[in-house]
Amino acid sequence: MKTVLLAKNIPELLFQINNNKDIRVVGGCTNLTSDPEKIVSTHGIKELSQIIRHERYIDAGPGTKIMQLINVGVNHIPQVLYDALISIANPLIQNIATIGGNICHEGQKLTLFAPLMVLDAKIEYKNQTETHVESILNFKKLPEKYILTNIRIPIPDSNISIFRRIGPEHSINEQSASFAFIATTEKNTLVEMHLAFAGPFAFRSRQLESNIMGHKLPLTNKDISGIMQTIESEFNEACKDQMISEVMIQQFLNLARYSFEQLT
């Protein structure tokens, strides 16, 4: 017999988690791959499903539906994130699935992980006594007895934003991944650049980005060849012991080259 518990607010949700062994916190349930005996829903908890816009960032509760973020509008959220949001499934799923569920999916990284990585998003999670904030770059999974409470999404001044899905168009399987790239240019100089991949594993290298930033623009074919050698070396190193196909590796490299070609 399955048990479904409800919570009206965050303290009630934390109480349920702390007092029920092996309970599973769920939002839209669109990615529920197992069949837990006991679940508690975040549905209806206002603090976890609201969007607060600030001048330089957006705070989104983990219970925020994908369609809620889409409805904020392309002019008010980063382009790379908007493109990722509209690529998810279909409007029916977008009205059910939550940003928290997309981030916290176990195993395979889902659609929003790569764009949130390039945006340097930060996540907040708490238990009954402590609150922690960390970069999504460092996020692996929620500690036991903790809940995700906020995702802070910076709004960058990017000149170039690229998001692409790898694999099936509107579904997720082992061949699925996401690619995200943003770049800021000023006075013929690449002043900032972030590049990320997320699927079987997550990849972003701050050292790589630091080495590439500062390049004079436009990039030459020689510049791109040198950059791609560095990217290929770092990505291949990251791929060691990962379940990733040669086809997916080549798709990532093709997208990385395409991104830098936009700077020629």
pLDDT tens track for 69-124: 999 999 999 999 999 999 998 999 999 999 999 999 888 999 999 999 999 999 99
**Cβ-contact 205, 234 below 8 angstroms:** yes
In this prediction, residue 5 carries a pLDDT of 82
- Could you tell me the sign of the dihedral formed by the alpha carbons of 185, 188, 191, 194, in that order? positive
pLDDT in tens, 138-148: 999 999 999 99
The CA-CA-CA angle for residues 181, 183, 184, to 5°, reads 160
In this prediction, residue 206 carries a pLDDT of 94
The kind and range of the H/E element at 204 are none
Considering only CA atoms, which of 69, 63, 59 is closest in space to residue 48?
63
The three-state DSSP-derived secondary structure of 118-170 is HCCCEEEEECCCCEEEEEHHHCCCCCCCCEEEEEEEECCCCCEEEEEEECCCC
Cβ count within 10 A of residue 119: 26
Q: What percent of the chain has pLDDT over 70?
A: 96
Residues 6+ apart with CB under 8 A from 42: 7, 13, 25, 26, 27, 48, 49, 62, 63, 98, 100, 147
Q: What value does the mean pLDDT take over residues 20-47?
A: 76
pTM of the model: 0.93
Q: Rounded distance, CA 172 to CA 174, Å?
A: 7
* Residue 1 predicted with pLDDT over 60: no
Q: What is the mean pLDDT of the chain?
A: 92
Q: What value does the mean pLDDT take over residues 183-212?
A: 96
In this prediction, residue 246 carries a pLDDT of 94
* Residue 49 predicted with pLDDT over 80: yes
